[in-house]
Amino acid sequence: MEEKVTGAFTAIILVVAIMISCLLIYVPNMHIIALKFEDSKLTGGRVSVMDMLTNSEDVLQEESRATRDSLLKGHQIRLSLPQNVTAASVSINNKFVDRDIQISIKGIGKDYFTNYPILGKSDNIEDVTYDSEDLVGVIDIMLDDVFEVSMSSEGGYIYLDFVDPHEIYDYIVVVDAGHGGNVPGATKMGVSEKDINLDIVLELKKLFDRCDKNIGVYYTRVDDSNPSFENRVGLANDTDADLFLSVHNNSTASGRMSSINGTEVMYEGGDSSGKSKEFASLCLNNLLAQLDCKSKGVIVGDEVYIIRESKSPVALVEVGFMTNVKELENLQDRNYQQKAAKAMYNAVLQYIGKI
């Protein structure tokens, strides 16, 4: 009997010792994070928690495969939720064009990471920062590529996975509304090119949103922002897009109002496969059919950065001339914008139908 009790006692001691040593692995890491947050309370603002993720990866690497799998359950990132916070309090804003994923969690304060470690693999992650205001914590994950995020939750944990868009979609199209923000493009009679470009792209988005084909469409902007040229063409290159379509409107070289009018589409002359020209021609033919406008043809546009740098077949559409009174009037008309959108939508579907 006494031997059995001693045996059981030894077993308990052993289990406790193992648990303590497991905890100790996290302690130095937690301590550094705690110090960092103390510091951020003094200076205020966003703090990088990247160390925590990298360290947690080291910790994970030292663990057995089985422990790693049970902690991450095969996912890429695990976040712990405080008891009073549920998965419904978590929202994700994926800013594809910036390769930036913002995870907002309602009900977590500045000290969240001191109590709830983030675990994960840091492949593809360039930085993770954190800030909280009015008990809404925002975790910002900067990636080195474009990913979709899939989220699942289980037992007080949130699991995140970064998924290659090609795993989800049969085709990928990137649509770019030219200019934006404090770069309006041409402004004629109080109308800015950036607004017309966006209006047309938002009409195009309505068509793609209703499309029953499995096409992933990524937009460089759907508001009055102005992504860099690198990020615009980078969205097409990093998603390995099947097509890259940029929507603009034209004006005369002098910028003066004139009788010059018509639709023109630029393509990449350096694309020896001819796919860019083929897509540009489809865009032009559909626009001519829908808008009943004058053709200014397809032209080489390699002097334009986003055309030259595109690895995807690219077309830059100049729907009409803002320096022509009649065309400027048309371009502001919702029905005309819808027809232009329909034309480009048809061109994309026709191109994809041939792949």
Please report which helix (H) or strand (E) contains residue 25, including its range: helix 2-43
For the bound state, the minimum distance from the C-beta of residue 197 to Zn ion, rounded and expressed in Å, comes to 7
Task: Single out the residue of 239, 217, 219, 201 nearest to residue 342, CA to CA.
Answer: 201
The region of 110-118, 149-157, 181-189, 334-342 touching Zn ion under the rule CB under 5 A is 181-189
Closer to Zn ion by CB, 139 or 245: give it. Answer: 245
Closer to Zn ion by CB, 160 or 200: give it. Answer: 200
Distance between CA 305 and CA 74 in Å, rounded?
Answer: 41
Task: Single out the residue of 269, 270, 272, 318 nearest to residue 294, CA to CA.
Answer: 318
- Which string of x and - marks every residue 236-265 that binds Zn ion (by CB under 5 A)? ------------x-----------------
Closer to Zn ion by CB, 160 or 247: give it. Answer: 247
137 binds Zn ion (CB under 5 A): no
Residue nearest Zn ion by beta-carbon distance: 248
Closer to Zn ion by CB, 94 or 251: give it. Answer: 251
Choice from 120, 165, 178, 262 touching Zn ion (CB under 5 A): 178
Closer to Zn ion by CB, 165 or 178: give it. Answer: 178
For the bound state, the minimum distance from the C-beta of residue 166 to Zn ion, rounded and expressed in Å, comes to 30
For the bound state, the minimum distance from the C-beta of residue 233 to Zn ion, rounded and expressed in Å, comes to 15
Q: Cα–chain-centroid distance for residue 170?
A: 18
Counting residues that bind Zn ion (by CB under 5 A) gives 3
The region of 165-173, 177-185, 306-314, 337-345 touching Zn ion under the rule CB under 5 A is 177-185
Task: Single out the residue of 325, 330, 350 nearest to residue 340, CA to CA.
Answer: 330
For the bound state, the minimum distance from the C-beta of residue 316 to Zn ion, rounded and expressed in Å, comes to 9
| Token duo for residue 203 | 């009409």
185 binds Zn ion (CB under 5 A): yes
The sheet carrying 125-133 orders its strands as 47-48, 125-133, 136-143, 100-106, 90-95
Closer to Zn ion by CB, 75 or 248: give it. Answer: 248
Angle between helices 2-43 and 50-62 (to 10 degrees): 160
Angle between helices 325-332 and 334-354 (to 10 degrees): 80
Task: Single out the residue of 294, 248, 301, 296 nearest to residue 276, CA to CA.
Answer: 301
For the bound state, the minimum distance from the C-beta of residue 164 to Zn ion, rounded and expressed in Å, comes to 31
> What are the residues binding Zn ion (CB under 5 A)?
178, 185, 248
